[in-house]
């Protein structure tokens, strides 16, 4: 019987998860400590990513079990509802644009920003990291080091995103992010960065919340809006933390 290749994909994802646990646990813990310390000191958290990398930004904010102090940084030309969709690729390569995006945001000294880019080669994320660091923010980069170290930067600095970070977390994925080779097709099929990335960022959130509790701070974690009392609980979070929540 012919092997069911979807099982190969699931097994590959499991192997990457094991690799992340083995190789990136310390960095996940460092990221959580940076976030917990920032929140304890009255600062806040931001997340930025382009096109599919931005899916993790959506994962991180305004959802049940999510930390309310994670603020997304979106730009409409970098999101997947842009038409033509190829415009997102052009805008990612526009030098200086990422700096403008951060300058139009409330990012300030003492904040933490998580920037997700799988290849890490395009100027928009690199400029976003540079501008955030200029403002005194702590920059965490989630990327694919296997991929990024094999592609040349498109930024004038000649550096890729991981070289701009205060802390790097590797998603331990494959080159180009596609993962499964199928006989009869040259191009591999099925990325892993979204699945693995969601696991990583939610692991950071779990650890951040635990650290805040250890500090005697009750973290603002969202309830589902679809349970009784959820809206009221979330409304209270918005009121208490309105100075550090910037997506309302």
- The model's pLDDT over 130-160, given as tens digits with 9 standing for 90+, comes to 999 999 999 999 999 999 999 999 999 999 9
pLDDT score at 3: 72
Give the mean model confidence (pLDDT) for residues 36-53: 98
Q: Is residue 246 part of a domain?
A: no
Tell me if 220 is assigned to some domain.
yes
Cα 177 to Cα 171: distance, rounded to the nearest angstrom: 10
Domain count, the chain: 1
Q: What is the pLDDT of residue 100?
A: 98
Averaged confidence pLDDT in the chain = 97
Residue 216: predicted pLDDT? 98
Q: What pLDDT, on a 0 to 100 scale, did the predictor assign at position 2?
A: 64
Q: Is the pLDDT of residue 239 over 60?
A: yes
Q: How far apart are CA 200 and CA 233, in angstroms?
A: 27
Are the C-beta atoms of 164 and 126 separated by less than 8 Å? yes
14 domain residue, yes or no: no
Residue 175 contacts residue 147 (beta carbons within 8 Å): yes
The yes-or-no verdict on residue 1 having pLDDT over 60 is no
Residue 13 falls inside a structural domain: no
pLDDT level of residue 31 (50, 70, 90 thresholds): very high
Quote the pLDDT of residue 209.
98
Q: Is residue 179 helix, strand or coil?
A: strand
pLDDT at 79 over 90: yes
1 part of a folded domain: no
**β-strand 45-49 against 70-73: which pairing, if any?**
parallel
pLDDT greater than 60 at residue 48: yes
Range(s) of the domain holding residue 199: 19-240
Q: Is residue 10 part of a domain?
A: no
The answer as to whether 185 is a domain residue is yes
Look at residue 4 and tell me if it is in a domain. no
The CATH number of the domain holding residue 207 is 3.40.50.10490
Q: How many residues does the chain have?
A: 248
pTM: 0.97
């Amino acid at each position: 019987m012919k092997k069911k290749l979807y099982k190969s994909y699931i097994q590959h994802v499991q192997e990457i998860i094991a690799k992340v646990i083995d190789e990136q646990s310390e960095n996940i813990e460092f990221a959580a400590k940076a976030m917990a310390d920032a929140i304890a000191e009255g600062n806040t958290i931001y997340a930025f990513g382009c096109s599919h990398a931005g899916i993790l930004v959506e994962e991180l904010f305004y959802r049940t079990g999510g930390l309310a102090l994670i603020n997304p940084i979106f730009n409409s030309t970098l999101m997947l509802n842009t038409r033509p969709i190829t415009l997102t690729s052009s805008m990612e390569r526009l030098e200086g644009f990422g700096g403008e995006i951060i300058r139009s945001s409330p990012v300030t000294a003492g904040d933490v920003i998580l920037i997700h880019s799988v290849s890490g080669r395009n100027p928009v994320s690199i400029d976003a990291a540079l501008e955030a660091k200029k403002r005194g923010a702590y920059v965490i980069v989630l990327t694919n080091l296997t991929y990024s170290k094999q592609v040349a930067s498109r930024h004038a600095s000649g550096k890729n995103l991981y070289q701009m970070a205060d802390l790097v977390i590797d998603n331990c994925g494959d080159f180009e992010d596609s993962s499964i080779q199928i006989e009869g097709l040259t191009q591999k099929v099925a990325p892993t960065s979204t699945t693995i990335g969601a696991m990583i960022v939610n692991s950071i959130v779990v650890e951040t919340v635990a650290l805040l509790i250890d500090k005697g701070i009750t973290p603002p974690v969202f309830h589902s809006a679809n349970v009784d009392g959820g809206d009221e609980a979330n409304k209270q979070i918005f009121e208490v933390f309105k100075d550090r929540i910037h997506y309302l």
